[in-house]
Amino acid sequence: MQNEASELQNAEKIRAAVVKVSETERRQFAPEISKVQILNESGLLLDFPAHIMTGAAGNFSQVLADCMEPPQHFFFMSYLACLGAICANKNTLKTELRPQPRLYVVILGESADDRKSTAISKTVDFFKNTVSEFHTCFGVGSAEGLQKRFLKDSIILLVFDELKAFVGKASVDGSVLLPCVCSLFESTCYESHTKNQEIILSSAYLSILAASTSATYERCWNSAFQDIGMTNRLFIVPGAGRRQYAIPSQVPSCEWDRMKRDLGKILRSTSETPEFDFTPGARQLYESWYLSLDQSIHTKRLDTYALRFMILLVINSSKNIVDEKIAQDVIDLMNWQLQARRLFDPIDADSAIAKIEEKLRRVLATGPRSDRDLKRALHYNRVGTWVFSNAVQNLTRSGEIYFNKTAKFWGLR
């Protein structure tokens, strides 16, 4: 009996260590709320605040998720990214900051199984078939190329099936694509003048919707991207799909028509209220969250995204003011994003062993792991025995991790 009680106690401790959030965040993620369970490659459960998936975007994501395999929140966030591109120069908040609802969204998941590209392509196709002024670009190789695309349309959603393609182009020596895209996150103007080439962009409204595997996202960046702040300009959306439809059924035409009517309705309302004000309760909620936000690399530009999502959620819900519910939904979403950033923060290491060492620290920070689970979380078959063994030995010798021979699990000191 004592052994059983001890085992139960240990199990409870391990479960408690799985998700590490503050008490404030625990209260904001109310236990009675239905949530989408997301399992990342580290084995950590991260709850997307599913209660925010309402309105036109919520209906669209529910219909598509009911017959396809991507997680519902992939469709939901893709919808908001497309909506933000359309409303980029139409709607803002009643504040001197004048935020725009444009997003730089990156869908994260495993290759093939999580159907990242499916969620993006179905959502983008829906908007292209519904809204005539919805303009997309499916790849750009340089800032000069982006300038030529902006000569045709001033509002563009840049879509990447693989984010690494953009990273590769932006990493080319002499390219100004990276500073250009970073500048266009908060501005609509950019200039670069050289002896043989000049780039002048004005009234350029750029949004991004891209997909990436979580492993690639953590490792594809170099110091130039992090130094300029590109990674904290991205809103990452991790998730895990599951196989359930060998041959997905078709969405009935009546559902497509209904979703098109819903989109038309909320777009018509955007012209009626170009500026959204706050209720006193909503303002107080947001200010309380803003003033209590920790200052770290993971919280940079979270407040910027909070204001942008307020605009989008007001439009999506066909309201004309930011009320307490919308403010709380945005706070829940930002707290979720903060946890996602901590989990998928790009690994800044120079060698393969150093990268696995950092990954080991992150995985074990979520709680004790058996040898088998630890190897699976680090993709043991990909990194190789030599790299994995050396990383484990290095951290064991330095006293950062340990192995409990009795319980047979690895832990972080």
- Which tens digit of pLDDT belongs to each residue from 395-413? 888 888 888 888 888 888 8
Q: How many CA atoms lie within 13 A of 87 on its CB side?
A: 34
Structure tokens at 190: 């950019």
At residue 231, the pLDDT reads 86
- Which tens digit of pLDDT belongs to each residue from 153-190? 999 999 998 888 888 888 888 889 999 999 999 999 99
Instruction: Give residues with Cβ within 8 angstroms of 125, minimum separation 6.
Output: none
CATH class of 21-343: alpha beta
Specify the DSSP element, H or E, that contains 47. Answer: strand 45-48
Least confident of 118-127, 177-186, 343-352: 343-352
At residue 243, the pLDDT reads 66
Instruction: Give residues with Cβ within 8 angstroms of 405, minimum separation 6.
Output: none
Domain ranges across the chain = 21-343, 352-412
Torsions phi, psi of 300, nearest 5? -60, 130
Q: What is the mean pLDDT of residues 5-16?
A: 45
Residue 32 has pLDDT above 50, yes or no: no
* Partners of 39 in beta bridges: 45
- Which tens digit of pLDDT belongs to each residue from 288-343? 999 998 888 888 899 999 999 999 999 999 999 999 999 999 999 999 999 888 88
Alpha-carbon distances of 101 from 22, 68, 89, 94, 369, rounded to whole Å: 29, 28, 8, 13, 41
Query: What percentage of the chain has pLDDT greater than the value 90?
Result: 45
- Alpha-carbon distance of 222 to 214, in angstroms, equals 16
Most confident of 81-95, 237-251, 362-376: 81-95
Structure tokens at 283: 């303002």
- Which tens digit of pLDDT belongs to each residue from 131-162? 988 999 998 989 999 999 999 999 999 999 88
Name which residue leads in pLDDT, 158 or 1. 158
Strands (E) located in 111-151: 136-137
Residue 173, exposed/middle/buried by CB under 10 A (0-12, 13-18, 19+)? exposed
- Alpha-carbon distance of 294 to 289, in angstroms, equals 10
**What's the order of all strands across the beta sheet hosting 321-322?**
92-93, 275-278, 321-322
Q: Are 374 and 388 in contact (CB under 8 A)?
A: no
- Alpha-carbon distance of 200 to 183, in angstroms, equals 12
- Alpha-carbon distance of 89 to 104, in angstroms, equals 16
Q: Are 241 and 114 in contact (CB under 8 A)?
A: yes
pLDDT bin (cut points 50, 70, 90) of residue 7 is very low
375 C-beta neighbours (distance < 10 Å), count = 16
Q: What's the predicted TM-score (pTM) here? A: 0.76
pLDDT bin (cut points 50, 70, 90) of residue 194 is confident
- Which tens digit of pLDDT belongs to each residue from 212-269? 988 778 777 777 787 788 888 999 998 876 666 667 788 889 999 999 999 999 998 8
Alpha-carbon distances of 227 from 62, 123, 189, 350, rounded to whole Å: 39, 32, 21, 16
